[in-house]
């Protein structure tokens, strides 16, 4: 229980990687502000489950990560409802797959807003409180696509490369203040975001879901296995604990060998 008494905002924590991260931090005693889209009953169930399971405070913000005003309000609500954010995990993200010349303008704007600008707005809103406390942990969920590109993902790759740059800059600006800022670059994790891509591949190639999954892993990820979201959670718990103190501005891959190629 290395994070007892700390407060974390995890964006996009109603599903996939963000939800696993929220579980890991809560398991370490951290109070959690959940965020993300989804079915109201399922979200209510999560807000009830976390305190019961982990004995921590849990609140939810429905802030839309494409709206800067709602992001600022989420940070303010966190301070009022559980206490100022000591830990911020910028995880919310969306994908759009299309050749650049056909890429819909509105999808470009949404991917950049949710996957990149949201992290800027939340960092800006929470760093002043972290500076006052001489403690803060900012973790940005980038991607292997923060380091290398894939065709047909121009907005996503641009956003993820951008968040790697944002991470390094914030790390330099906060280096003497007890705040660290790091990025994690996962390879394939089997979440709804990736399932949609597998289904599209299966349809396009008229192949089974199992074959499309094998093709997806085989194209990019040498270990040919999905990354477990709990492994990302465990890495974040390490970064948030005492031994993470000197790690800042790091761009940490957890990608089954993807970017070793
Ligand atoms: P997911 O679709 O399971 O979860 C995305 C989360 O973001 C959900 O909770 C969703 O409600 C939330 N979200 C989406 N739009 C939002 C908005 N406008 N406002 C608030 N919340 C919003 O996806 P995931 O795979 O768990 O992805 C999480 C992060 O991990 C993303 O940043 C993604 O780019 C990154 N990532 C995923 C993989 C992978 O293979 N799944 C690999 C590398 C990086």
Look at residue 85 and tell me if it is in a domain.
yes
Burial of 203 (C-beta count, 10 Å sphere; 0-12/13-18/19+):
exposed
62 Cα nearest atom in ligand 1:
20
**What is the predicted pLDDT for the residue at 1?**
80
Active-site residue flag, 156 = yes
Ligand 1 centroid from CA 114, angstroms: 9
Q: Do 126 and 248 reside in the same domain of the chain?
A: yes
User: From the candidates 50, 156, 188, 226, which is the catalytic residue?
Assistant: 156
Q: Do 156 and 221 reside in the same domain of the chain?
A: no
Look at residue 261 and tell me if it is in a domain.
no
Ligand 1 centroid from CA 176, angstroms: 31
**What is the predicted pLDDT for the residue at 3?**
97
**Cβ-contact 78, 59 below 8 angstroms:** yes
Closest residue (by CA) to atom 32 of ligand 1?
Answer: 93
Long-range contacts of 39-46 (CB under 8 A, 24+ apart): 42/14, 43/14, 46/14, 46/19
**What is the predicted pLDDT for the residue at 258?**
98
Look at residue 76 and tell me if it is in a domain.
yes
Q: How many domains does the chain have?
A: 2
For the chain, give the longest Cα–Cα distance.
57
Q: Do 12 and 112 reside in the same domain of the chain?
A: yes
Closest residue (by CA) to atom 2 of ligand 1?
Answer: 193
Q: Do 40 and 58 reside in the same domain of the chain?
A: yes
Q: Do 115 and 178 reside in the same domain of the chain?
A: yes
Q: Do 155 and 177 reside in the same domain of the chain?
A: yes
Q: Do 23 and 112 reside in the same domain of the chain?
A: yes
Q: Which domain holds residue 222?
A: 188-226
Sites in the chain below the pLDDT cut of 70: none
Closest residue (by CA) to atom 44 of ligand 1?
Answer: 143
Considering Cα of 252, then 169, then 130, then 53, what sign does the dihedral take?
negative
Look at residue 259 and tell me if it is in a domain.
no
Ligand 1 centroid from CA 132, angstroms: 30
The residues lining ligand 1, judged by C-beta closer than 6 Å to any ligand atom, are 12, 14-18, 35-38, 64-66, 91-94, 114-115, 141, 143, 186, 188-189, 191-194
Ligand 1 centroid from CA 191, angstroms: 8
Look at residue 2 and tell me if it is in a domain.
no
Q: What is the pLDDT of residues 128-166, one digit of tens each?
A: 999 999 999 999 999 999 999 999 999 999 999 999 999
Angle formed by the axes of helices 16-27 and 229-240, to 10°? Answer: 50
């Amino acid at each position: 229980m290395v994070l007892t008494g700390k407060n974390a905002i995890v964006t996009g924590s109603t599903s996939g990687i963000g939800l696993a991260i929220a579980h890991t931090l809560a398991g370490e005693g951290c109070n959690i502000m959940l965020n993300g889209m989804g079915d109201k009953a399922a979200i209510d169930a999560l807000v009830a489950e976390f305190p019961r399971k982990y004995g921590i405070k849990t609140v939810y913000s429905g802030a839309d990560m494409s709206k800067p005003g709602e992001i600022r309000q989420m940070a303010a609500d966190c301070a009022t409802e559980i206490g100022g954010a000591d830990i911020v995990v910028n995880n919310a993200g969306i994908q759009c797959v299309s050749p650049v010349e056909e890429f819909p303008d509105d999808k470009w704007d949404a991917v950049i807003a949710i996957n990149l600008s949201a992290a800027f707005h939340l960092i800006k809103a929470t760093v002043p409180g972290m500076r006052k406390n001489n403690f803060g942990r900012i973790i940005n969920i980038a991607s292997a696509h923060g380091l290398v590109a894939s065709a047909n993902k121009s907005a996503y790759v641009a956003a993820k490369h951008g968040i790697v740059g944002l991470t390094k800059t914030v790390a330099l600006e906060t280096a003497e203040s007890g705040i660290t800022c790091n990025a994690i670059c996962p390879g394939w994790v089997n979440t709804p975001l990736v399932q949609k891509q597998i289904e599209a591949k299966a349809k396009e190639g008229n192949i089974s879901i199992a074959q499309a999954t094998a093709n997806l892993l085989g194209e990019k990820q040498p270990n040919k296995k999905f990354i477990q979201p709990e492994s990302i959670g465990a890495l974040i718990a390490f970064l948030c604990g005492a031994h993470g103190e000197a790690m800042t501005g790091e761009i940490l891959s957890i990608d089954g060998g993807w970017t070793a190629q």
